[in-house]
Chains A and B, each alone.
Chain A
Amino acid sequence: MSHLPADMRTRAEELVALYPEPRSALIPLCHLAQEQDGWLVPEAVSEIAELCGVTAAEVRGTATFYDMLHTEPVGTYAVAVCTNIACLLGGALELLEHAESTLGVRAGGTTPDGVFTLHEAECLADCDKTPCVQVNHRYVGAQTPESFDALVGDLRAGRLSDTIPTHGTLVRVRRSVGLQADPAAIKSERAAVAGEQAARVAASGEKKA
């Protein structure tokens, strides 16, 4: 019994078909599962394992390596405050302290109502707008303590739901080509490509390293 509903399952299979080896879809599938559940629930981990042809332990082994993949529940809004060097110089430690007091949780914690998870982030690559904050991986520009409180109020009231989807939804643009192609057609195309490559290798007369 599939954990992912039919439309998500279709998208998952399209993702797997994109890669020469199914395992490469592991991280994109984790993002897809988080779009569904907000985090990686055990049933999703098992389904990803089945789709990629690996064990659930291997999926967890990969997932726990990456900051964006969560094996425990995350708030509706994951708020990331960067404190790395450029933001540090721009007052990020003070902002993080303020964020902790506004949200009433320490970095890494989730508010009791499950709306916010606060993260102390490493550089988010927006270093001309410091201190830099992302909500669900969307940039919200340089923040002051005052603007941060306003941001939290807007998020709580749902005023930013158009621009900031709930946690887990990473890419709202779907691939319009290839993904929807017949997986069998993709497979045969890849076989043909591999054949051409083998021919080129043979023609070059060079041994592969």
Chain B
Amino acid sequence: MAITDAPKIITARLGYDDSFTLERYLATGGYTGLRKALTMTPEAVAAEVDAASLLGRGGAGFPAGRKWSMLRKNPVTYLVINGDESEPATFKDHMLIEGDPHQILEGVLISAYALQVTQAFIYLRGEFALGLERLQTALNEAYAHGAVGSNIFDSGFSLDVVVHPGAGAYICGEETALLESLEGKRGFPRIKPPFFPAAIGLYGEPTVVNNVETMANIPWIVNNGGAAFAALGAGRSTGTRLFALAGHVRNPGNYELEMVKTTFRDLIYAPVLGGGIRGSNTLKAFIPGGVSAPWFGPDQVDLPLGQDEVGNAGSMLGSGSVVVMDSATCMVRAAWRITKFFSRESCGQCTPCREGSGWLERIMYRIENGGGREEDLDLLMDLCDNISPGVAWPPQQTTICVLGPSIPSSIASGIRMFRDEFLVHVKEGGCPFD
């Protein structure tokens, strides 16, 4: 395995200081994918995306083409783009929105054409003040350029796009919560079934919800063909993908890598990527796909960066964020902080999540701060089992949305991989890393 010379599909423009302007976008092939798509039939455009086997880049990894084809017989009313990136340690969409907003817009325009939708909303995380300004500026430029609005490039196709700001709530990254939020309500996830967005979405109408990074791939796919995209990667994981590398590495950052052909070891240690563990410490554990994912130890560092490869090993590639923890990291503190996050962000609809996350957080806090008891470890696992029976992967669900079953991952990983470290906290009456 090695780092491949696969093309930069979505990050090619980011090296330019003015990567976010229409001028730079047009000078680097911008909106040619849209012009090409408008000469094709909507079905042919959708077929290219289907051929690319592009997996949704939001976290769940559902094939974008299949999401669309489910709606071919049942016309879609709205296209909604999920730019509410809030999964801890995930910062790829943030970079794409600020760095190349026109690429996202072009993806939205092509997708809307393929779906024959005339109204699209881009829901951006409220905390992305600069991203909101960049995207709104890009949208204004695109309207003036004739790429958005009525009769786009004289094709007869029209689309209105609205950039919608969120207001700070992790749960709104969940697609049905996002739709509630877009309707001016609290971000309460809807129960599925029946509220699959494809059937009953925004204002009760059939709606497609896609992630920002998914959209960013669409112009390249139309320009180069779905087959060229599918030729990259392997198995179900085609193309390239952005991996957000954070934690104790020398060079944290976003890296666009060919899927499956690159491993976690490459990402963490290659000099042109992560550059290895900071200082003279060694790798203790890493989280392979956002804080909802079970942790991996150093023995799994040679796994390829592929959806099924990571899934079969008992975790998930999720949002593409990789958090590296070195030998000086207190695993109790890490798991406590992640649990505190879920406790703060639980929307409060379902008892196992609302109450369970708070109980777990308080027990973790007392272990970390010297008030823990030996039986707390069993108590933690018992509570996890109440939230997600069996505490297995993929997790069982007792709640409306997947936030609930995401809560046990870090605690269960911590206890299973570092039981002795938890017990030292209890026996010594405090954190040995302090």
B-binding residues in A (CB < 8 A): 18-21, 23-28, 30-31, 52, 54, 61-63, 65-69, 80, 83-86, 88-89, 122-128, 130, 134, 136-139, 170-178, 193, 196-197, 200-201, 204, 206, 208-209
Contacts and interface: CB of A to CB of B under 8 A. Distances in A.
A46 to B, nearest CB: 16
B425 interface: no
B268 to A, nearest CB: 14
Interface stretch (B119-127, B298-306, B416-424): B119-127
A155 to B, nearest CB: 16
A31 B118 CA distance: 26
A200 B116 contact: yes
A198 B36 CA distance: 28
A204 B341 CA distance: 46
Nearest to A53: B184
B181 interface: yes
B184 A54 contact: yes
Contacts of A173: 132-133, 136-137, 140
Nearest to B160: A178
Contacts of B358: none
Nearest to A82: B88
B325 interface: yes
Given A31-B165, A134-B127, A137-B129, A175 B337 contact: no
Contacts of A66: 126, 166-169, 187
Contacts of B77: 197
B345 interface: yes
B202 to A, nearest CB: 8
Interface string B188-211: 000000101011100100100000
Nearest to A121: B127
B143 interface: yes
Contacts of B187: 65-66
A84 to B, nearest CB: 5
B381 interface: no
Dominant secondary structure of chain A at its interface with chain B: loop
A19 B206 CA distance: 16
B258 interface: no
Task: Indicate the member of A31, A69, A137, A176 with the most B CB atoms within 10 Å.
Answer: A137
B256 interface: no
B75 interface: yes
Contacts of B194: 209
A23 B74 contact: no
Nearest to A54: B184
Contact of A122 (B73, B86, B246, B254): B86
A68 B127 contact: yes
Contacts of B199: 208-209
A139 B334 contact: no
Contacts of A85: 88-89, 246-247, 287, 291, 323, 334, 337-338, 341
Task: Indicate the member of B118, B246, B337 with the most A CB atoms within 10 Å.
Answer: B246
A65 B137 CA distance: 29
A34 to B, nearest CB: 10
B66 interface: no
A86 B129 contact: no
A171 B165 contact: yes
B365 interface: no
Contacts of B203: 20-21
B138 to A, nearest CB: 10
A186 B140 CA distance: 17
Given A26-B184, A137-B127, 16 more contacts: A24-B164, A27-B167, A62-B186, A66-B168, A85-B337, A122-B345, A123-B341, A128-B244, A128-B253, A171-B133, A173-B136, A173-B137, A173-B140, A178-B162, A193-B118, A209-B199
